[in-house]
């Protein structure tokens, strides 16, 4: 237990130090030499533009740190400071969170970086050492080059900003914002309508069938929790169709967003009911289920609430029996009718 890991560690250190290390050093030196030749040669302006343009993608891969050896000969002995924002040099959050998902801001930013690189290379702007990133990076620049570095930073800020605004307008970003605003207004209007409808809910003393099929008592389900009445009193329907409808008017209060197999409602008299499709179908993770309502909706008897697939439930090895239970009677007495064939929205299955 001790010797084997120790020997493995020794071999790994030897391999890294004497084999992988020299190889990596040679590769890094070769890359550094190419880049250094590019930014100091006759075509340094063109090379600077290209290198500046691809710098953002290099950040994604982490390969941008290879240039540290060019920026400062003693880079291996210097730790890269931790930057707290893009203005201070930390651009990964912006790149991964904003630029990459929309893509065009990434291209605009790369273009601005190319412009900044052209300015720096063409003016031979030089730093004393690797310092902080972003705008404060000017503190690391040799004094005589600070004005040109400031100009480069201005280009790196202004060019992407202007391009992003122009391209964004052309690509319809404003239209997206307007669409989002309209969606928010429509949602607010729907909430107001639901609130008004909730005020006007009429107390109903009859429950209509929420599915087509045979109505059975809870004991006939043959499943411990519902059959024993642990969730509440009620009944069940062995369905012949696949759309659950509201048995009575009320407000949708509970939805299972992960499994989509159940709907909870609150009635005008304060009682609460739950319609549960299938036995143990929560394990299906929502496959074969689709909600036709959302929490807060005020619905009338017969309003479609949920669609499900009898085939998917059967394939998963579960009964498709749909249970209705009163989870909170709120002092209301219920009487349930079973032992008959029901038609959705027509057959009376309970009274209160």
**Helices 44-53/21-40 angle, 10° precision:** 120
The residue with tokens 């411990």 is: 224
| Beta-strand pair 304-308/298-299 | unpaired
Strand partners, 336: 350
Alpha helices in 208-298 (DSSP H): 224-227
Q: The tokens of 316 are what?
A: 């998963």
Query: DSSP secondary-structure letter at 97?
Result: I
Gap between the terminal Cα atoms of the chain: 72
Q: For Cα atoms 126, 130, 133, give the angle at the middle one, nearest 5 degrees.
A: 95
Q: For Cα atoms 311, 312, 318, give the angle at the middle one, nearest 5 degrees.
A: 95
Name 205's Cβ contacts closer than 8 Å, sequence gap at least 6: 351, 352
Distance CA 232, CA 248 (A): 18
Candidates 17, 64, 261, 276; catalytic one: 276
Q: Residue 232: left (phi > 0), alpha (psi -120 to 50), or beta?
A: left
Distance CA 197, CA 332 (A): 22
Using DSSP's 3-state secondary structure scheme, residue 4 falls into helix
Q: Is 65 considered catalytic here?
A: no
- 298 contacts 246 by C-beta, under 8 angstroms: no
Distance CA 217, CA 223 (A): 12
Cα 221 from chain centroid (whole Å): 39
Alpha helices in the chain (DSSP H): 3-15, 21-40, 44-53, 55-61, 68-71, 92-94, 100-102, 104-122, 146-170, 173-199, 224-227, 310-315
Query: DSSP secondary-structure letter at 80?
Result: P
**Which amino acids are annotated catalytic?**
276
């Amino acid at each position: 237990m001790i010797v084997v890991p120790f020997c493995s560690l020794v071999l790994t250190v030897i391999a890294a130090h004497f084999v992988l290390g020299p190889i990596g050093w040679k590769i890094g030196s070769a890359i550094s030499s190419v880049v250094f030749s590019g930014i100091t040669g006759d075509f340094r302006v063109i090379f600077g533009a290209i290198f500046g343009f691809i710098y953002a993608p290099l950040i994604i891969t982490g390969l941008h740190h290879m240039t540290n050896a060019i920026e400062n000969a003693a880079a291996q002995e210097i730790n890269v400071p931790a930057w707290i924002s893009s203005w201070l040099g930390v651009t990964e959050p912006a790149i991964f969170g904003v630029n990459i998902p929309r893509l065009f801001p990434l291209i605009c930013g790369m273009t601005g970086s190319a412009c900044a690189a052209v300015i720096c290379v063409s003016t031979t702007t030089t730093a004393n050492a690797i310092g902080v990133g972003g705008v404060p990076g000017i503190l690391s620049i040799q004094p005589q080059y600070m004005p040109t570095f400031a100009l480069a930073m201005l280009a790196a800020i202004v060019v992407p900003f202007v391009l992003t605004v122009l391209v964004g307008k052309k690509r319809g970003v404003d239209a997206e914002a307007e669409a989002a605003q309209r969606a928010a207004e429509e949602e607010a209007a729907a909430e107001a309508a639901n609130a008004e409808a909730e005020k006007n809910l009429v107390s109903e003393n009859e429950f209509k069938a929420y599915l087509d099929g045979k109505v059975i008592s809870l004991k006939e389900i043959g499943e411990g929790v519902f059959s024993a009445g642990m969730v509440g009193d009620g009944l069940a329907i062995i369905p012949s169709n696949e759309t659950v409808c509201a048995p009575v008017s009320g407000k949708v209060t509970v939805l299972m967003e992960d499994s989509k197999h159940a709907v909870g409602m609150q009635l005008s008299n304060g009682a609460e009911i739950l319609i549960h499709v299938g036995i143990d179908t929560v394990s299906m993770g929502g496959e074969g289920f689709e909600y036709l309502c959302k929490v807060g909706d005020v619905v009338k008897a017969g309003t479609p609430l949920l669609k499900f697939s009898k085939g998917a439930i059967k394939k998963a090895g579960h009964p498709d029996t749909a249970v209705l239970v009163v989870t909170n009677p709120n002092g209301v007495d219920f009487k349930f009718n079973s032992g008959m064939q029901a038609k959705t929205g027509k057959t009376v299955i309970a009274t209160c």
